[in-house]
Amino acid sequence: MTDAAPRDAVEELLALLRSGYEVEWRGGEVVNGCANAPWPDYHPAVRDGLAAAGRLLTSLDAPAPTARAGAGDYREGFRRFGHKPMTELDREEAATALTFVVRTERFVDGTIASWIEDGRLERLLARALRLADGARAPGAPPVDAAQ
């Protein structure tokens, strides 16, 4: 896969978010006396874009992640820097934030939806693209310029 493919998917998701996308919730009804819990039904570009952002952040020509951001625990890492503006996150912190939101969604339905609603996901994805634009190995062109 070229670096353009994940970048395109992230840009598609950013365009969706900027268009005013709202997550649709399903379920919540009672059927035969059993309540079905509501769950978010995300547009396919949401999952694709999140996976692509992860590939984009981990493909950057940068030093391998250290334990600095999370000491091996994405939740602890996010607690350490989660107060920082998204525009100030480095690659490792952005990857940890992305891991945090995706993994938390597995246990708390609607985590991604809340990040969409308050703009955090848009800011995180924009930061991932900026990091990709500025990532360079010594003497190498930016990652997104490589073919």
For the chain, domain boundaries = 4-137
Q: At residue 145, does pLDDT exceed 50? A: no
Question: Within 13 Å of residue 14, how many CA atoms lie on the same side as its CB?
Answer: 17
- pLDDT tops 90 at residue 140: no
Strand ranges, E, within the chain: 24-26, 30-31, 34-35, 39-41
Supply the pTM of this predicted model. 0.79
Say if residue 45's pLDDT is above 90: yes
Tokens 């020509």, residue located: 61
The 3-state DSSP class for residue 80 equals: helix
pLDDT tens sequence across 46-104 = 999 999 999 998 876 555 555 444 446 777 878 888 788 999 999 889 999 999 999 99
Per DSSP, helices labelled H in 59-118 are 74-81, 91-107, 111-117
State mean pLDDT over 25-34. 92
Tokens 């003497």: give the residue: 139
56 three-state secondary structure: helix
pLDDT at 146: 35
Distance CA 36, CA 71 (A): 38
Provide the percentage of residues in the chain whose pLDDT is more than 90.
Answer: 61
